A and B are shown apart, each in its own frame.
Chain A
Amino acid sequence: MTELKNLVKSLLEEGKVTKVIGYRMYGENNTKPYIAVTPNDAEEMVLNTDCRNNLSVYLTKKEIINGGKTGIVAKGCDIRNIIALIQENRIKEEDILIISAECKGVGAEKGSAVYANKCVNCSVKTPHLYHELVEMKGSELSQPKDKYTEAKEKVLAMNSGERFEYFSNMFSECIKCYACRQACPMCYCEQCIADMSIPRWIESSATDRGNLSWNMIRAFHLSGRCTGCNECERACPAEIPLSFINKLMYDTAKEEFNYESGMNKETPTLIGSYNTKDNDNFIQ
């Protein structure tokens, strides 16, 4: 197995890629996205259990992807987004070079001894689409508390009025900063309908009603597309547990259609395809 720094260095030297999107250390137990452009930049590159960011979000930025072949350091979960982006014509496989590793999971946050929630039940610790393999560094982490199941049980025990109140309260914290949108690799529209004024899809000020609509529409637009990377939740300054609704949609896609986003680039996307035998039992 090649060492990451050497690999990046030689890729850049040989001109196989024009840049490599990766991580560099940012203080202790923390990393930051980093783009290596010259062979010397490779020295900074790391891949360890503190590499929480999903770097595939950069692949939809034109200024990055248009300037020649792009290398990207991607964990299995990040590769799922890369696949989903290929399925949606965002990127061409031949324009990227994926550097991956057998993943050890990433820490929930700086200095944390437990996995991030997204690592629980991860099925892609072994990468499923890559061009180069390197080693991931870092210490063993332990299982976090399963917050999702707990929250889901709580919600399911409520009647519909209570649920509505629960979620409208949850989203009333939203300040419409759209950090969730910025962090999401799948939110790449040129213009989001949240910013559209004619017609007004979503109230632009941070009213409870507008907040609720925004969060519903965001989750719906990601349904069948979200891979569960949780970058939205990590980015949310209001600390709204956005992963709940994402995971709900994710599980629905799996239960109803046996579909998981970003697993196979040949599979037709969930929305955009259909089966004449799709569930019909809720339709009168």
Chain B
Amino acid sequence: MKVGVFICHCGENIGRTVDCPKVAEAAGKLPGVVHSVDYKYMCSDPGQNLIKQAIKEKELDAVVVGSCSPHMHEKTFRKAVEGAGINPFLCEIANIREHCSWVHENKDEGTDKSIDLIRYAVEKVKRNEPLTTIRVPITKRAMVIGGGISGIQASLDIANAGYEVVLVEKEPSIGGHMSQLSETFPTLDCSQCILTPRMVEVYQHPKIKLMSFSEVEKVEGFIGNFKVTVRKKARFVDDEKCTGCGDCIQNCPIKKKALSEFDENLTTRTAIYVPFPQAVPNIPVIDSEICTYFKNGKCSMCVKVCGRGAIDFEQKDKLIEEEVGAIIVATGFKLYSIEKKPEDSPIKGYGEYGYGKYKDVIDGLQFERIASASGPTEGEFLRPSDNTVPKKIVFIQCVGSRDEAKGFSYCSKICCMYTAKHAMLYKHKVHDGEAYVFYMDIRAGGKMYEEFVRRAIEEDDVKYIRGRVSKIYEENGKYMVKGEDTIAGVPVTIDADMVVLATAMIPQPESKKLAQTIGIPYDSYGFFNEVHPKLRPVESSTGGVFLAGACQSPRDIPESVSMASAAASKALVLFGSDFLEREPIVAKVNENICAGCFYCKKVCPYNAIEIKEIPSKNGKPVRVVAYVNEGLCQGCGTCNATCPSKSVELTGYTDAQIFAEISAI
């Protein structure tokens, strides 16, 4: 191999403390080096031309440039050598500026060290192999998992940019938690009024394929090329035939056996039902757990009244495969239920607040339903136990959040705001009512947020008490809320008619399972992890999988929507090119010697190692070996270092290359 060495002076930057001509002269004597020169500015056009010319004239096979850090100009020089017909990966940089001339003052030492660094690079480059950039085609189609406000926003953004979207929602309707809310802070506009048009837009969008009552079962492939298997759960209603007239629901005799999930268990629903009137799609589902037909076959009222013959008791779950290039995970949250200690959890729970025991001790979402004009009380403030107007309500913040001992360490973030909103809504409707809020701190960071909380306190006379509540008990028909006012330093007891607990937002219970299915990391709480908390907040560490909304950490609506649009734009960036170009620094398996111990698979941070069967001539598998999925491999080389027989090697950093560098000492 004929190596050419090019030493840059970088003006005075290298030349001042390194005798560049001397380095070039010494490099010229290294074995394999046939050409060695120095020049004032190697990265300049004339400098690059010097390299290109030498490659042609001296028929060089490889190039070493002694210059600044490869992080500065490796690309420049690789491009230059490529221009002269050499594979760009046959160019190595010896960093004689940042790692030498700038940090050593003695010129002899600097010169000697530069010669050493050149020698390392020459020994390495002699073992470099030509590599080609990896090009992976991209399926320009996205899947959005979760049809809450985040998923809706992401779907619409991508679809409006002209790409197909598959939106998967596990519930019968999209809309998520936002559809349950009454008004939204800090503007107090009606939640459904702003959400419903978006839901309809999703439904009618020609580029969006909505798969409601469906769940992701399996994810294969990698960035640009995912194959997702979705389970479309049996609705027992043919969505092609159903017109959403609602006759079946009206006539269903099973009216009281199931609590309405949408109304947070405050009302009941029928066996055939839509979660709420504005549901999208407006196609009912049969709850086979309570439906009489499924129990004993005796009732088929819905079949009788359906003019379209849409009821289909024989319907089965369907597995549908979708090919997509990007996945946006927007599975949202649920509220931490405090009535009992969660299973497999170190969390102790808040039995002393009597949630689940006292009917009028409710959580934030239940309060939203009570406050909602479409809710069980049609917006009138009536407490669940006796349908009377509560005259005194206590709101308790940070239930389950910011409490390492009994709940979760993190701040649930939205509760300060929605509690202020709740208290305000209550005061707006029950003018003679009293509202108390127990809080730890008020965290109202956000546009018009602090002003909103001040309004609740100053204009609507909501009484804020700094302190925690130790106990709630019933006495003379009142709920006695015992707490401490830590500012006044006195214990307080409030005889409330109703108590609203701002319980912590937690990830959906299946979030860990989903994370494992997709192959994305999650934190100890089960929230999905972004790859970089500051600079890449909506990307998961798995290429092509993006995060939006409260599945990543507690988020309010504006933040969820921002994240969703950001995630959508990340997907669109991906769709902006036909191929994904990757540096070819990836691991490669030598199948002849791989013993199939799969230590590589255990250490791979990207699940890029797969199991490959090597069949014999008659097609029977004789042994298994590791196989690297180049689309997933990010080139860390941990597999290479772990492999005992060195059957997997990282291109660009092979053992032979590194040994050569070591031996050049």
Contact = CB atoms under 8 A, between A and B. Distances in A.
Interface of A: 62, 66, 88-90, 188-193, 196, 198-201, 221, 268-269, 271-273
Given A89-B596, A199-B659, A193 B602 contact: no
B599 A271 contact: yes
Interface residues of B, number: 22
A272 B645 contact: no
B593 A191 contact: yes
B623 interface: yes
B599 A190 contact: no
Given A196-B646, A201-B646, A189 B599 contact: no
B11 interface: no
Interface of B: 592-599, 602-603, 622-624, 642, 644-647, 655-656, 659-660
A221 to B, nearest CB: 5
B647 A190 contact: yes
B645 A88 contact: no
A196 B649 CA distance: 14
Contacts of A62: 622-623
Given A88-B599, A189-B644, A190-B593, 11 more contacts: A62-B623, A88-B597, A89-B596, A89-B597, A90-B597, A188-B595, A191-B645, A193-B644, A199-B659, A271-B603, A272-B602
Given A88-B598, A199-B656, A189 B603 contact: no
B597 A190 contact: no
Contacts of A221: 644
Contact of A89 (B593, B598, B646, B656): B598
A273 B660 CA distance: 30
5 contacts: A89-B596, A188-B597, A189-B595, A198-B656, A271-B642
A242 to B, nearest CB: 17
Contact of B599 (A192, A199, A201, A269): A269
A28 to B, nearest CB: 39
A273 B646 contact: no
A191 B592 CA distance: 9
B621 to A, nearest CB: 10
Q: Name the 6 nearest CB pairs between A and B, nearest first.
A: A272-B602, A189-B645, A191-B593, A199-B656, A199-B659, A190-B593
A198 B658 CA distance: 12
B645 A192 contact: yes
A269 B598 CA distance: 11
A83 B176 CA distance: 47
Contacts of A192: 645
Contacts of A89: 596-598, 624
B659 A190 contact: no
Given A191-B593, A199-B655, A272 B644 contact: no
A73 B177 CA distance: 61
Contacts of B598: 88-89
A191 B644 CA distance: 10
A268 B602 contact: yes
A187 to B, nearest CB: 9
Contacts of B655: 199, 201
A232 B36 CA distance: 52
B602 A190 contact: no
A17 B483 CA distance: 71
Contacts of B592: 190-191
A189 B596 CA distance: 9
Given A199-B659, A268-B602, A272-B603, A190 B595 contact: yes
Contacts of A200: 659
B646 A193 contact: yes
Contacts of B599: 88, 269, 271-272
A89 B655 CA distance: 25
Contacts of A88: 597-599
Contacts of B597: 88-90, 188-189
Contacts of A272: 599, 602-603, 642
A90 B656 CA distance: 28
A173 B593 CA distance: 30
Interface centre among B595, B596, B624, B647 (most CB of A within 10 A): B595
Contacts of B642: 271-272
Contacts of B646: 193, 196, 201
Interface centre among B596, B622, B645 (most CB of A within 10 A): B645
Interface centre among B592, B597, B622 (most CB of A within 10 A): B597
B529 to A, nearest CB: 13
Nearest to B611: A89
A233 B70 CA distance: 49
Interface centre among A188, A189, A198, A273 (most CB of B within 10 A): A189
A89 to B, nearest CB: 5
A26 B136 CA distance: 62
Contacts of A191: 592-593, 645, 647
A192 B603 CA distance: 20
A16 B22 CA distance: 77
A118 to B, nearest CB: 23
Nearest to A192: B645
B364 to A, nearest CB: 34
A198 B602 CA distance: 26
A196 B656 CA distance: 11
Contacts of B660: 199
A271 B642 CA distance: 8
Contacts of A189: 593, 595, 597, 644-645
Contacts of B659: 199-200
Nearest to A272: B602
Contacts of A199: 655-656, 659-660
Contact of B594 (A66, A190, A198, A271): A190
A94 to B, nearest CB: 16
B602 A273 contact: yes
B591 to A, nearest CB: 10
Contacts of A201: 646, 655
Nearest to A188: B595
Nearest to A198: B656
A234 B595 CA distance: 25
A87 B598 CA distance: 10
A132 B318 CA distance: 45
Interface centre among B596, B602, B623 (most CB of A within 10 A): B602
Nearest to B644: A221
Contacts of A198: 656
A159 B507 CA distance: 56
A119 B39 CA distance: 70
A272 B600 CA distance: 8
A221 B602 CA distance: 16
A268 B642 CA distance: 15
A196 to B, nearest CB: 7
A20 B645 CA distance: 30
Nearest to B623: A62
A72 B159 CA distance: 61
B381 to A, nearest CB: 49
A268 B602 CA distance: 9
A141 B46 CA distance: 84
A61 B602 CA distance: 23
A244 B48 CA distance: 58
A62 B621 CA distance: 12
B659 to A, nearest CB: 4
Contacts of A188: 595, 597
